[in-house]
Amino acid sequence: MKPELHRTALHDRHSKAGARMVEFAGWSMPVQYSGILEEHRHVRTACGIFDLSHMGELYLSGPSATADLQRLVTNDVEKAAPGQCVYSPMCNEKGGVVDDLVAYRLEPDRWLLVVNASNHDKDLAWVKAHVGSATVVEDRSFETSLLALQGPAALEVLAPHVPALAALKNFRSRPANLAGRDVLLSRTGYTGEDGFEIYCDNSAAGLLWDLLASDARVRPIGLGARDTLRFEARLLLYGNDLDEQITPLEAGLDWTVKLDKADFIGREALLGQKKTGPARRLVGFRMTGRGVARHGYEIVADGKPIGQVASGTFSPTLEQNLGLGFVQSSYANPGARFAVRIRSQQVEAEVVKTPFYKRPAAK
C-alpha cells in the first residue's frame, strides 16, 4: 500500500474551490483551479495566491550555526545581515547539487533554511550530518504553512494589512503581524514577478488565505502555473534542472558559487571545473519547428547526441514553445542550432538568451 499523502492546512479549501488535486513530493497539492494558462496569465497581470506549505523549513541556531551553514552552501552567507535572504545551492563533495535553498538570516546566529519538499528527508539528514554539535537543527516543516502572494498587484493587496510594507526590499524578510497572527514575511518568490511569501503556524493558514483571497484582484493558483511561471523566469526546478549529478557551474549558477570564501563542501571539485570550464551547460532554446520539448528528450546535432532537455513547455506569456537543456559547451552560445528528438522526429531549435521573461520595470 502507498503511504498516505500529507495534507496542508488548506487542503479542504482547495477541494471546495474545485482544484484538481495531485500527488507531489508525498503531498496532496492543487495542480490547477480554473486552468494553467488562465492562472499563469492572471499572475503576470494581477495577483495570485499559492499554497506552498509542502516546502521544508529547517532552523539552524547556536554559536557555530553561521560557520556551519557557510560550509554547507556555495554562496557566502556570512555577509548577510539579519533579515536578508540568500539563495544558494548545497553541494556534495563532487560538486553536485544536493538541493537549492533559500537561507534566511533571522538573527546573527539563527537561520531558516527553506528547502524543496521532494528533498526534505534527504536535506534534514545531510544538514544534521554536516554541522557541529553546538548547532541545533530544528525541523518545523510539518507545523509551518507557507502562502505566496505573487504578481504586479501583490504589494497593493498586502500593504493595507502590513505597515510600511513597501520598505521591505527584494530578498529581505521581517516579522510582522497579519490579521492578528504572527508571521514571517519575505519579498521573495518563484514566478518572476514581485511578491511576498508568508510563513505562519498551521492554525493561522486558513484565516490568512481567506483574507487575501477575498480581494477581487487575487485568484488561487496551482502548481501547474507555478511551474510555467518559474520556467519563463529561468528559475530552476530541482529534479529537472538540478540534481546531484549537475553542478551549479553547469546550470549557470556561477554567481552563487563563491570560490574565494573559506572551504565549503564541493569547493575543490567546483574549483577544478571552473579552471577547465564545464563540458556541458544549461541553455535556453526556442523550438523553430513544431513540437514541445519535454524533460528527458534527447538533443542532437549533425545526427549525434549532444545533450538532453531539462525543462520544456509552451510559454503562455511569449506564446512560444521553449526549453532549457544541457548541451555540449560548444553549442551553448545564442544562435546555435540543434534538434530535439520528439518521438521519431528531430525538431529544429535555436539557443536564445535567458531568462525568457523579465517583468517590466516599475514606473
pLDDT tens column, 246-260: 999 999 999 999 999
State the CB neighbour count (10 A cutoff) for residue 308: 16
Average pLDDT on 135-142 reads 98
Predicted confidence (pLDDT) per residue in 49-73, tens digit: 999 999 999 999 999 999 999 999 9
Decide if 141 contacts 31 (C-beta within 8 A): no
Q: What pLDDT, on the 0 to 100 scale, is given for residue 215? A: 98
- Cis ω on the peptide bond leading into residue 316 (within 30° of 0)? no
Neighbours of 157 (CB within 10 A): 22
Task: Report how far apart, in Å, the C-alpha atoms of 170 and of each of 24, 72, 153 are.
Answer: 28, 24, 15
The string of pLDDT tens digits covering residues 324-358 is 999 999 999 999 999 999 999 999 999 999 999 99
Beta partners for 101? Answer: 88
pLDDT of residue 1: 62
Backbone angle region of 202, left / alpha / beta, with phi > 0 → left and psi within -120 to 50 → alpha? alpha
Q: Determine the pLDDT at residue 363.
A: 59
CA distance 201 to 140: 10
**144-150 β-sheet, strand order:** 173-178, 181-186, 195-201, 144-150, 47-51, 218-220
Residue 233 — pLDDT band, cuts 50, 70, 90? Answer: very high
Exposure string of 191-226, with b = 16+ CB inside 10 Å and e = fewer, is bbbbbbbbbbeeebbeebbebbbebebbbbbbbbbb
Q: With bands split at pLDDT 50, 70 and 90, how would you rate the model's confidence at 158?
A: very high
- Note the pLDDT of residue 361: 79
Per DSSP, what are the bridge partners of residue 340? 299, 347
Give residues with Cβ within 8 angstroms of 197, minimum separation 6. Answer: 52, 146, 147, 148, 149, 185, 186, 188, 189
- Side chain identity at residue 236, one-letter code: L
Quote the pLDDT of residue 224.
Answer: 98
Share of the chain above pLDDT 90, in %: 97
Cα angle value 90/94/97 (rounded, 5°)? 30
Q: Which of 106, 139, 144, 104 is nearest to 123 (CA)?
A: 139
Q: Which three cell numbers stand for residue 82?
A: 539579519
Position 3 scores a pLDDT of 79
Q: Give tens-digit pLDDT for 95-119.
A: 999 999 999 999 999 999 999 999 9
**Residues in a beta bridge with 338:** 349
Band (pLDDT 50/70/90 cuts) for residue 199 is very high
Q: Hey, what domains does the chain have and what are their CATH numbers?
A: 6-54+142-232 (3.30.1360.120), 279-363 (2.40.30.110)
Percentage of the chain lying above the pLDDT 70 cut? 99
Please, are residues 355 and 283 in contact by the beta-carbon 8 Å criterion? no
**Is-contact 197 52, C-beta < 8 A?**
yes
- 274, with CB counted inside 10 A (0-12, 13-18, 19+), is middle
pTM value surpassing 0.85: yes
- Rounded Cα–Cα distance for residues 279 and 298 (Å): 17
SS3 for 76? coil
pLDDT tens track for 266-298 = 999 999 999 999 999 999 999 999 999 999 999
